[in-house]
Amino acid sequence: DAMADNLADKSQAAQAYEKAEAKITDPNDLPALARAVMQALGDKKLAAGIFARAEDRIGQPNDLLRLGNEIRETLSDEAQAGAVYRKALDAASEYPQLQRLLDVLAGGFDDPELAQAAIAKSLEVCDDSAALLDAAERSGKLGADGLMTVKALDLAEDAVKSLDEMRKLNETVSRLA
């Protein structure tokens, strides 16, 4: 029966993907395998499991952001992607890493609590007025707590070291007002 043959083929293909996963040493290659599983088999459970195992093995913030994006694109699973983005936030230690997370949030991933936490952590790691002004602008665009934007501007003012930086601060304040 053709249906049984198709089920047998899918079962064999799933086993082949599981064997392939066991041989993958770089966890950053696992999302491509999960995507292939979805395209070839449409097996969301198997793909989600591969993504979860990738999440367990990936620790770098930028890699975690890529993983979260891949989960959203492949599985349309906002909850699993959100967990990965939170892990990226926890692992981030530099503002450029947090900028990438803020870009994800500004790009349509709607999680106000994560946005608030990302802005707050940004203010902890930023140490120059340019980064703080960028954080203030992003805070305003994300609709984060207005107090967070004010705090970013206050910190930026404290970090100003030149007339040019003061001019940029005033321009940012005008844009956000």
Give the model's pLDDT for residue 8. Answer: 58
Q: For 12-21, what is each residue's pLDDT tens digit?
A: 878 888 888 8
| DSSP letter assigned to residue 77 | -
Burial class (CB in 10 A: 0-12, 13-18, 19+), 110: exposed
Give the model's pLDDT for residue 162. Answer: 94
Q: For 128-174, what is each residue's pLDDT tens digit?
A: 999 999 999 999 888 766 788 899 999 999 999 999 999 999 999 99
Give the model's pLDDT for residue 144. Answer: 66
Q: Residue 2 above 60 pLDDT?
A: no
Encoded tokens for 96: 């450029």
With tokens 């097996």, the residue in question is 43
For the residues 25-29, what does the mean pLDDT come to?
92
Rounded distance between C-alpha atoms, residue 58 and residue 23, angstroms: 16
Q: For 51-92, what is each residue's pLDDT tens digit?
A: 999 999 999 999 999 999 999 999 999 999 999 999 999 999
With vertex at residue 92, the alpha carbon angle to CA 21 and CA 148, rounded to the nearest 5 degrees, is 140
Q: Where does the pLDDT of residue 127 fall: very low under 50, low under 70, confident under 90, or very high at 90 and above?
A: confident
Q: Which residue has the higher pLDDT, 85 or 175?
A: 85
With tokens 């926890």, the residue in question is 90
Cβ proximity of 64 and 91 under 8 Å: yes
Q: Which residue has the higher pLDDT, 3 or 10?
A: 10
Rounded distance between C-alpha atoms, residue 100 and residue 26, angstroms: 22
For the residues 28-53, what does the mean pLDDT come to?
93
Q: For 103-120, what is each residue's pLDDT tens digit?
A: 999 998 999 999 999 999
